[in-house]
Structure 1
Amino acid sequence: MNLKEPLWSKRTESNEHPSPSSSSPRDPESEAAAAAATSAVEELVNSLNKQRIYREVTLALRTGLCDVRAEFSFLRVCGLRFLLKSLRSIAQSDSSITLFSQTQSIPDLQVVPLLFEHSFKETEDEKVGSLDHIFSVEPMKVKSPSTDSEVALALRVLEGCCLLHPESTRLAHQHKAIPVLMNVLSTRGVLEQGACLDALISILLDSSANQMDFEACNGIEEVAELIRDKQVDENLRLFC
């Protein structure tokens, strides 16, 4: 998602300031009327621009989240890449950040819960309890496990959401984010571990609940163990 200024806003801005050569003396009444008309146009332009940004933000979220819900990992990776690109574009404007924060109060547009329901979900949680699906007409839904790149992208998206929208840390806490991330930190590869450390920092910021979970999971000891482990990548140890 690339937020661009519409052509009509540029045209309005160019018409606001006439050249000195074309200006002619006006009476106070005409100047007041012109100022009122200009302010009305500015309010209309600002309102239209806000609506445009909101539509683009919501469209980007719906498009990315649709793929994040997919059953196949390569589709989820595409959705996560699109969301990450959208978050980078949103971060460039204060108004778009505000609108993004407003969208995260809508359950259908919340990003963090879907990350834990799909990309961070362990395949062991989906054990088959019975064989009824063999004798039924409906096919069994098969979900591919999360790949390393998917987990790393999901961690980056989680980091971006928590930095742009501090309330996302509360949503992450509801899905037991700290135990999940500590598991990623201790079991995954270098790519995921580096992204996991960044995500941990963003989740712990101004979140006492997550900080208590981090302490309960012996997070400091886990990070210290990574630093002491000589088999861990040197860049990752320096990052810690």
Structure 2
Amino acid sequence: MYLKKPLWSEGIETTKQDSTGSSSSSDPNASVVELVNSLQQQRVYREVTLALTTGLRDARAEFSFLRLRALRSILNFLNSIAHSDSTIYLFNLTQSIPHLQVLPVLFQHSLKETGNDYNYSRVGDMSHIFGVEPMKLTSPSTDDEIALALRVLEGCCLLHPHSTTLAHQHNAVQVLLNILSTRGVLEQSACLDALISLMVDSSPNQMDFEKCNGIMEVADLIRDKQVDENLRYCLLQPVSFILMLIYWSDSSSALFFR
């Protein structure tokens, strides 16, 4: 999201500089400046909602290449708003609106687990042959799509802390641990960063990580000589950070209930 400077905002900076040193009550242009700032905020909010609406529409698509394009767009959008507190605030407001929430779309499409039951319902069920409506086939997520979805997940959790709660509702820790143990190097490296962002200031996700024996999963990857050596080396730093998070959370809980 790259906003162009609106024409009606020209001269506002000059007005602000000219009015430096004078009180706002005595400045006749103060109301104009306030109106322009309000219009600017409304304009940015429309741009934020438009970027999310168009990105999430393709992120729900049945074809992987459309979802991949949408994830790139959403990731670029998150990068563009991360430099301004005002745009981050507007993004946080949009995440309270169900049809603009990013996390549910990620776990329902790009990060959706395809187990045996899912494959059987798609392939073994022949009821669509005798029905009127055609069967909808969804292409599986590619490696690039999963890696991008994990980066988007990481960005949402860092910019919008409540997204960790939404991720917990979708069993995010279990999904990410499955990706970490079954996918390739590209997804595994992105998965580590996403795991850390999930567990920062999130006790439910930290408890899920302990219940799923996450430390043992990561330790097995470190000991596995078939895993890429660079990835095994990169695993050491996240593990120490995760252990520090869990230890700090346990210590805080013990002090609170003492």
TM-score by length of 2: 0.84
Which residues of 2 match residues 207-226 of structure 1 at below 5 A?
A: 207-226=202-221
Q: How does 1:32-111 map to 2 (within 5 A)?
A: 35-111=26-102
Contact 1:162 1:168 in 2 (8 A): yes
| Cα offsets for 1:110-154 (capped at 9, x unmatched) | 000010000011233253263221011211000000000000000
Deviation track 1:39-98 (CA, whole Å, cap 9, x = no partner) reads 212211211111011011100000100000000000000000000000000101100000
- Write out per-residue CA displacement over residues 165-184 of structure 1, whole angstroms, 9 at most, x where no aligned residue: 00000000000001000000
CA contact (8 A) 1:181 1:196 kept: yes
Instruction: Establish whether residue 237 from structure 1 lines up as the match of residue 232 from structure 2.
Output: yes
Q: Secondary structure at the match of 1:36?
A: coil
Letter in 2 for 1:211: Q
Structural mapping, 1:186-201, within 5 Å:
186-201=181-196
Gaps of 5+ in 1: 20-30
**Alpha-carbon distance, 1:100 to partner:** 0.3
Over 3 Å counting, the alpha-carbon distance change for 1:139 and 1:39 in structure 2 is same
Distance of aligned partners of 1:44 and 1:144 in 2 relative to their CA distance in 1, 3 Å threshold:
same
* Structure with larger Rg: 1
Q: 1:33 offset after TM fit, Å?
A: 9.0
Q: Secondary structure at the match of 2:226?
A: coil
Partner of 1:23: none
Number of aligned residues = 229
The letter of the residue matching 1:127 is Y
Identity within the alignment, %:
67
1:163 to 158, 161, 166: 158
The answer for the alignment partner of 1:15 in structure 2 is 15
Q: How big is the shift at 1:17?
A: 3.1
TM-aligned CA distance change 1:33 to 1:179, over 3 Å: closer
Unmatched segments (≥5 aa) in structure 2 = 236-258
The farther-off stretch of 223-232 and 212-221 is 223-232
| CA 32–122 in structure 1, closer or farther in 2 if over 3 Å, else same | closer
The letter of the residue matching 1:40 is: S
CA distance in 2, matches of 1:91, 1:101: 12
* Contact 2:174–2:212 (Cα < 8 Å) also in 1: yes
Contact map agreement 2:24 2:30 (CA 8 A) in 1: no
Deviation per CA, 1:198-222, whole angstroms, max 9, x where unpaired?
0000000000000000000111111
The alignment's TM-score, normalised by the length of structure 1, stands at 0.90
